[in-house]
Amino acid sequence: MKLEGFGIFVEDMAAMIRFYRDVLGFAIKEGEDTGNVYLEKDGTLFLMFGRKDFEAMAGQSFGYAKGINGHYEIALGVENYAAVDAAYREVIEKGARPVMEPTTEPWGQRTCYIADPEGNLVEIGSFVK
């Protein structure tokens, strides 16, 4: 098996589309009233499924985390340490929820965390000084 992408299950598709499109710059072309979003970001398939639509398709309901949650992260890379700091400031100014300010970790990565509107963690980082 080959990893082709990943998907997240969303409650408020319009808010999530606006965040990933307008704050993080994903090329989302679907309307905010869509039930599912299929896009490719830097060669990785990224899917957003409406929770109710997916539950109807699967014929069962599921539990979902509330608030900022640590079930997984979406990791975005930038060119260098300075770009981590700049990207963090930019996305916070555009409305992202701050979780962890940029810091240089002992393993040599400069990283920071924000949360999307439904509390999923998004990392922005680089290993290049």
Same fold across 5-58 and 73-126: yes
Which H or E element spans position 113? strand 110-115
Residue 55 CB-half CA count within 13 A: 11
Global pTM reads: 0.93
Q: What gap in Å lies between CA 64 and CA 93, rounded to an integer?
A: 28
Nearest to 109 by CA among 83, 89, 86: 83
User: What is the per-residue pLDDT for 102?
Assistant: 98
Instruction: Please compute the mean of the pLDDT values over residues 35-42 and round it to a whole number.
Output: 91
The percentage of the chain sitting over the pLDDT mark of 70, rounded to a whole number, equals: 100
Q: Which two tokens stand for residue 103?
A: 């810091």
In this structure, of 20-24, 40-44, 58-62, 83-87, the range with the lowest mean pLDDT score is 40-44
Domain range summary for the chain, segments of one domain joined by +: 5-58, 73-126
User: What is the per-residue pLDDT for 93?
Assistant: 98
| Confidence band, pLDDT 50/70/90 cuts, at residue 15 | very high
Q: Identify the CATH number of the domain defined by range 73-126.
A: 3.10.180.10
Q: CB-based contacts of 86: which residues, under 8 Å, 6+ apart?
A: none
Q: What share of the chain is helix, strand, coil (3-state, %, to 5)?
A: 25, 35, 40
| Confidence band, pLDDT 50/70/90 cuts, at residue 106 | very high
- Domain 5-58's class? alpha beta
